Amino acid sequence: MPVDRATKQAWLIWSTAVLVYIAALFHRTSLGVASLEAGDRFAVGPAALGTFTVLQIGLYALMQIPTGLLVDRFGPRRVLTAAALLMGVGQVLFAIADSYPLGLAARAVLGVGDAMTWVSVLRLAAAHFPPRRFTLVMTLSAALGGAGNLVATVPLTLLLDNAGWTVTFLAAGLATAAYSAVVAWRIREVPDGVPQPVVEPVPLRAVGAKVRDAWREPSTRLGFWVHFTSMSTPAVLGLLWGFPYLVEAQGLSRPSASAVLSTLVLVAIVTGPVMGTVIGNRPEWRMPIVGSYLAVAVLCWAVLLGWPGGVLPTPALYVLFAVLALGNPASGVAFALVRDYNPLHRVSTATGVANVGGFAAVTFTALVVGVLLDVVEPALPAPQAYRIAFLSVVAVLLVGVWRTVVWWRRARAAVFAAEDRGEAVPVQLRRRRWDVLVEA
């Protein structure tokens, strides 16, 4: 059962876990500013370079549902310990890799470890904090994770320029692997005095049923599409294609491009806790906030792709990247929806289902952008080539907006139907005129 107050022990356990997530964000986004060096080191073009991100993020997406099941079965302490160890090993391999296949293998190991962090942190938050604090802790976790992303911008660029590829990534990998011992020692899965839940092994055929139960919940489906649309745009820019775009298409220096890219992180860090507090206190505002962000994101992409000549003023790039960065905290609405409308024993699985959304979108668009650049770059100037390649990002965004609207209305209809049956619902919604169309 959910606890009624947050204790000092809860905050200590959470801080230990969130450091793993900070490391995960660093490792995940480290290729963003190292992409040009990676191209030279492994002698590959844009499509092959995009494969690094596609493989890592694709494995992340594929691992979300298994991770939820693993957390439900073995608990977040063991899963987080394994995550830190895998990320450390993966980054060490990447540091010493001198061939493209070995580099791919290293990013695959890193992606599997990364995939095991977020769901585990959310499960610990669900167990140690009261429901009213969950949204704040979730968005605070995401914002602090941005610190790892921030280190992977300007500081990582300077480290690569001075210490070199091998030393930089080797030190990061060894430190992460060593921290796994701290995780195993410090983390407790339930508060003191609360009995450890006994979870029996789930038969393989029952796994599918558990995932189907989570997927059938309309708010889980809505969470999937909220994450798909809100998280994917800033992730595609921050993980791989933002840095080359700023350097090659916009003509910025490497330090200037890193500074613009860091805007994605800084805005998320500052606005995340604020948004978490707002939607925690006024949960009925969650989807209007997401809808407003998606409308503004479409407008931002229209400016990026429609600007005459394709080269924007640097201040405009800062503004546009800052606005698009709001998708990171907005994507947290997906996990609040999952937490509210799924029973606790299914929260991790449902969280994994929702988390697949954004990373599936990133996997697809990262690959398509690379393929399109390979095709059009030889024949077109860089600004026009990136304009064509980024059309795939806009197409994915528009599909996500459409599905988000569809499931928003269906989720509302499910809430109203539950109220009509006399059931208690987590969030009281006000009926709108267009809700009648859904119920009919």
Q: What is the pLDDT of residue 173?
A: 92
Q: In angstroms, how far is the first alpha carbon of the chain from the final one?
A: 36
CA distance 309 to 290: 31
Q: What is the pLDDT of residue 24?
A: 92
Residue for token pair 């269906």: 410
Q: What is the pLDDT of residue 96?
A: 92
Is residue 3 included in any domain, yes or no?
Answer: no
Is residue 198 included in any domain, yes or no?
Answer: no
Helix (H, G, I), strand (E, B) or coil at 4: coil
Is residue 199 included in any domain, yes or no?
Answer: no
pLDDT surpasses 70 at 360: yes
Residue for token pair 């905050």: 11
Question: Residues 87-103: pLDDT tens digits?
Answer: 999 999 999 998 899 99
Q: What is the pLDDT of residue 397?
A: 95
Residues contacting residue 55 through CB under 8 Å, at least 6 positions apart: 104, 107, 108, 111
Q: Are 20 and 84 in contact (CB under 8 A)?
A: yes
**Running DSSP on this structure, what letter comes out for residue 430?**
-
Residue-range definition of the domain harbouring residue 422 = 8-191+204-439
CA distance 325 to 262: 10
R_g of the chain computed on alpha carbons: 21
Q: Looking at residue 346, which CATH number applies to its domain? A: 1.20.1250.20
pLDDT band at 440; cut points 50, 70, 90: very low
Percent of the chain with pLDDT over 90: 32
Is residue 149 included in any domain, yes or no?
Answer: yes
Tokens read off for 409: 């209305």
Q: How many domains does the chain have?
A: 1
Is residue 2 included in any domain, yes or no?
Answer: no
Is residue 325 included in any domain, yes or no?
Answer: yes
Is residue 49 included in any domain, yes or no?
Answer: yes
Residue for token pair 């844009």: 46
Is residue 213 included in any domain, yes or no?
Answer: yes
